[in-house]
């Protein structure tokens, strides 16, 4: 390990190069000095409570709002700890706390104050206590802020510093090439002391994009970034980072300047908090998503955005061909990087990752099926003026209520198959809170808020949650009990280390098969993705290397190498050599 002073020297050199690229040689020295001043101000306060570096097969991540579970007027984080102690003791090692700051809309992603904890979540002391038990992932909402943020109030009043923090354009400007994740207008009209002004708003008129062409914006956000490191973040999620830098006449997504800012943040982490993992959130086609690994000098972890729609499509169709072909072509992450595997999150099931994989009629057929299961579809605007589907809004449990032929009796088995399959792939498995409790669609939430994403963002009173989690007949109890058991089993298998090798095998349309291989252990994960029993020759699976016996860790069955493996509807097995 290099000395702290050497790491700071390296940071200064790299930061100056990146800042010269962003803002020019003449300004680079001054901006570099200001950035290093921020780093030195926070350096002594930056610490970590969890293990220093790396990850292993025991790592899991929970995605949740800090106040998703409520009890009287107690802080939500206390209820979250109660939930984990009762139902998933020692199974969750990291928690992604979705934006826990005061906000004006979008359930936290329109941030009013980046450095405060909202009352329903708790206080910074609660965050600190949680960080002593779990690795915490903070959201750095760095693309935009709320129109109630003090910076934007400065803009309205034409005062420093915020008057220059946003992108103001003539509404007649040609913005047709800009990539849009929404169908709302890109420019939001704002009444200011100078009259009506139109500002860039990628996601909504309440989420105003910041102008990173102004170095003061970058420095202000790096101050917030370093503040989060000082508060014990083990992971930092860069929300909507792909849209960060704007340049007229381009798509304004994945621009070289955006990647340079991610690299700068990685330089800062490497210098003062090498245990921290940068996680990029980019709901875009798969190849674009992977670009945020860079050359091992950007994100340490990227979301596997193709996985949620691919697993859903596979189980809805009862055909693993698309998932198998995709997984077989998946490049291993760079050294020091890994994937964050998930099937559900606070957002909907993104569809952009399917672009180029599925014909439009297949996508539409899947959407029609999701409508039957109570879901909705959000749209995005395209340069040609048409709106196309962007994400499915539905709880993942209800998305697996049936297949393309309709609802059936296999919902629980199908859902457990989806989660176990996700746990088997190279990377770290992430579970959304609503999935851990097999939550159905919250249609009342959609009606109450008028927002489609509310269907999968239910706030649970403890008096309502505890009974369903403890009722042996309720799906929430059945699913949580079995998931708890399978997570424990996974944590005991070194072949599921995020860095362990992965090989996907094509064993026919009805099966998804992946082999994971660590230093001293091999696991064959085999899944029946259909409603009917499937038979697989172990001799074929093992390519003739069938000496000895194999134990299914999940089902606790033992097989000889010359036997056939019979999998019931949606059954998954983890076969290891005994």
3-state per-residue secondary structure call for 251-269:
CCCCCHHHHHHHHHHHHHH
Residue 210 DSSP symbol: B
Residue with tokens 């950035």: 35
Q: Are residues 243 and 350 in the same domain?
A: yes
Tokens of 524: 């064959």
pLDDT at 52: 58
Q: Are residues 412 and 550 in the same domain?
A: no
- Residue 23 falls within a domain, yes or no? no
Question: pLDDT tens digit string along 111-151?
Answer: 999 999 999 999 999 999 999 999 999 999 999 999 999 99
The last residue of one of the domains, among 431, 462, 496, is 496
pLDDT, averaged across the chain: 95
pLDDT at 519: 84
Q: Are residues 511 and 489 in the same domain?
A: no
pLDDT at 160: 95
* Strand extents, DSSP E, 427-521: 428-432, 460-461, 501-505, 511-517
pLDDT higher than threshold 60 for residue 412: yes
Q: What is the pTM of this model?
A: 0.96
We report the CATH number of the domain holding residue 531 as 2.60.40.1180
Annotation-wise, does 346 bind a ligand?
A: yes
Query: What proportion of the chain, given as a percentage, has pLDDT over 90?
Result: 88
- Residue 242 falls within a domain, yes or no? yes
- Residue 193 falls within a domain, yes or no? no
Q: Does 125 participate in catalysis according to the annotation? A: no
- The 3-state secondary structure of 295-354 reads CCCCCCEEECCCHHHHHHHHHHHCCCHHHHHHHHHCCCCCCCCEEEECCCCCCCEECHHH
Mean pLDDT of 256-273: 97
Q: Are residues 550 and 453 in the same domain?
A: no
pLDDT band with cut points at 50, 70 and 90 for residue 315: very high
pLDDT higher than threshold 90 for residue 268: yes
pLDDT higher than threshold 90 for residue 426: yes
Cα 132 to the center of its chain, rounded Å = 22
Residue 166 DSSP symbol: B
We report the CATH number of the domain holding residue 275 as 3.20.20.80
pLDDT band with cut points at 50, 70 and 90 for residue 277: very high
Closest Cα to residue 321, out of 516, 570, 530? Answer: 530
Annotation-wise, does 237 bind a ligand?
A: yes
Mean pLDDT of 25-33: 98
pLDDT higher than threshold 60 for residue 9: yes
Question: pLDDT tens digit string along 38-52?
Answer: 999 999 999 876 665
- Residue 171 falls within a domain, yes or no? no
The three-class DSSP label of residue 525 is strand
Cα 486 to the center of its chain, rounded Å = 21
Residue with tokens 């300047």: 257
Q: Are residues 282 and 234 in the same domain?
A: yes
Q: Is the torsion defined by CA of 459, 111, 428, 373 positive or negative?
A: positive
Closest Cα to residue 216, out of 23, 12, 39? Answer: 23
CA geometry: angle 73, 74, 75, nearest 5 deg: 120
Q: Are residues 449 and 470 in the same domain?
A: yes
pLDDT at 51: 61
Annotation-wise, does 90 bind a ligand?
A: no
d(CA 200, CA 152): 12
Q: Are residues 123 and 262 in the same domain?
A: yes
Closest Cα to residue 431, out of 480, 388, 477? Answer: 480
- Residue 91 class from Cβ within 10 Å (0-12 exposed, 13-18 middle, 19+ buried)? buried
- Residue 565 falls within a domain, yes or no? yes
Number of domains in the chain: 2
* Higher-pLDDT residue of 286, 487: 487
Mean pLDDT of 454-471: 97
Query: What is the extent of the structural domain holding 560?
Result: 501-577
Annotation-wise, does 453 bind a ligand?
A: yes
pLDDT at 155: 97
The three-class DSSP label of residue 178 is coil
Task: Please check whether residue 312 is in contact with residue 363, taking contact to mean a CB–CB distance below 8 angstroms.
Answer: no
pLDDT at 50: 64
Q: Are residues 433 and 485 in the same domain?
A: yes
Q: Are residues 414 and 459 in the same domain?
A: yes
pLDDT at 544: 67
Annotation-wise, does 347 bind a ligand?
A: yes
Residue with tokens 């672009």: 355
pLDDT at 384: 77
The last residue of one of the domains, among 496, 514, 534, is 496
Strands 557-560 and 522-528: unpaired
Annotation-wise, does 106 bind a ligand?
A: yes
- Residue 364 falls within a domain, yes or no? yes
C-alpha pair distances (Å), 169 with each of 173, 191, 211, 344: 7, 14, 12, 36
Question: pLDDT tens digit string along 439-454?
Answer: 999 999 999 999 999 9
Question: pLDDT tens digit string along 471-529?
Answer: 999 999 999 999 999 999 999 999 999 999 999 999 999 999 999 998 889 999 999 99
The last residue of one of the domains, among 473, 496, 519, is 496
Tokens of 19: 């800042």
Q: Are residues 430 and 573 in the same domain?
A: no
Preceding peptide of 384 cis, ω within 30°: no
pLDDT at 284: 82
pLDDT at 449: 94
Q: Are residues 252 and 129 in the same domain?
A: yes
pLDDT at 53: 64
Task: Please check whether residue 92 is in contact with residue 60, taking contact to mean a CB–CB distance below 8 angstroms.
Answer: yes
- Residue 12 falls within a domain, yes or no? no
Q: Are residues 397 and 508 in the same domain?
A: no
Question: pLDDT tens digit string along 229-249?
Answer: 999 999 999 999 999 999 999
Candidates 67, 139, 209, 239; catalytic one = 239
- Residue 273 falls within a domain, yes or no? yes
Annotation-wise, does 239 bind a ligand?
A: yes
Question: pLDDT tens digit string along 534-554?
Answer: 999 998 998 767 677 899 999
pLDDT higher than threshold 70 for residue 84: yes
């Amino acid at each position: 390990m290099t000395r702290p002073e050497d790491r700071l020297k390296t940071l200064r050199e790299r930061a100056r190069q990146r800042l010269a690229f962003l803002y020019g040689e003449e300004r680079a020295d001054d901006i570099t000095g200001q950035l290093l001043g921020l780093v030195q101000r926070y350096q002594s306060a930056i610490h970590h409570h969890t293990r220093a570096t790396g990850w292993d097969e025991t790592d899991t991540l929970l995605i949740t709002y800090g106040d998703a579970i409520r009890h009287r007027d107690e802080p939500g984080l206390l209820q979250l700890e109660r939930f984990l102690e009762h139902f998933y003791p020692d199974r969750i090692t990291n928690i992604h706390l979705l934006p826990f700051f005061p906000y004006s809309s979008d359930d936290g992603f329109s941030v009013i104050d980046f450095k405060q904890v909202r009352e329903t979540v708790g206080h910074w002391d609660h965050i600190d206590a949680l960080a002593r038990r779990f690795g915490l992932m903070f959201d750095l909402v760095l693309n935009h802020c709320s129109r109630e943020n003090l910076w934007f109030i400065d803009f309205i009043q034409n005062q420093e510093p915020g008057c220059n923090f946003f992108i103001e354009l003539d509404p007649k400007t040609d913005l047709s090439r800009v990539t849009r994740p929404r169908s709302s207008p890109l420019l939001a009209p704002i009444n200011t002391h100078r009259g009506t002004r139109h500002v860039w708003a990628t996601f909504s008129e309440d989420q105003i994009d910041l102008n990173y062409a102004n170095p003061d914006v970058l420095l202000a956000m790096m101050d917030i970034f370093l503040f989060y490191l000082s508060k014990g973040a083990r992971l930092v999620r860069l929300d909507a980072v792909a849209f960060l830098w704007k340049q007229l006449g381009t798509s304004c997504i994945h621009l070289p300047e955006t990647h340079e800012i991610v690299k700068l943040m990685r330089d800062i982490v490497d210098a003062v908090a090498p245990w921290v993992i940068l996680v990029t959130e980019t709901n875009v086609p798969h190849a674009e998503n992977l670009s945020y690994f860079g050359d091992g000098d950007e994100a340490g972890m990227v979301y596997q955005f193709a996985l949620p729609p691919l697993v859903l499509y596979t189980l809805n169709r009862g055909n693993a061909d698309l998932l198998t072909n995709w997984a077989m072509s998946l490049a291993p992450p760079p050294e020091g990087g890994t994937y964050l595997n998930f099937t559900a999150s606070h957002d909907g099931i993104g569809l952009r990752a399917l672009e180029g994989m599925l014909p439009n009629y297949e996508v539409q057929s899947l959407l029609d099926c999701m409508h039957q299961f109570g879901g909705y579809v959000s749209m995005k605007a395209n340069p040609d003026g048409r709106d196309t589907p962007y994400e499915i809004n539905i709880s993942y449990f209800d998305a697996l209520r049936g297949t393309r032929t309709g609802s059936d009796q296999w919902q629980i088995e199908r859902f457990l198959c989806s989660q176990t399959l996700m746990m088997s792939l190279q990377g770290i498995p992430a579970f959304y809170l609503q999935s851990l409790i097999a939550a159905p669609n919250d249609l009342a939430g959609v009606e109450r808020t008028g927002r489609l994403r509310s269907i999968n963002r239910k706030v649970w009173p403890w008096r309502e949650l505890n009974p369903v989690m403890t009722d042996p007949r309720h799906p929430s109890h059945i699913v949580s009990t079995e998931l708890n058991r399978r997570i424990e089993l996974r944590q005991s298998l070194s072949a599921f280390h995020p860095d362990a090798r992965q090989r996907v095998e094509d064993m026919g349309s009805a099966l998804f098969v992946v082999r994971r291989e660590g230093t001293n252990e091999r696991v064959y994960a085999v899944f029946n993705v259909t409603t009917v029993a499937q038979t697989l020759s172990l001799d074929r699976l093992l390519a003739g290397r069938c000496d000895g016996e194999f134990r299914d860790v999940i089902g606790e069955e033992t097989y000889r190498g010359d036997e056939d493996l019979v999998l019931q509807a949606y059954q998954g097995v983890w076969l290891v050599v005994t």
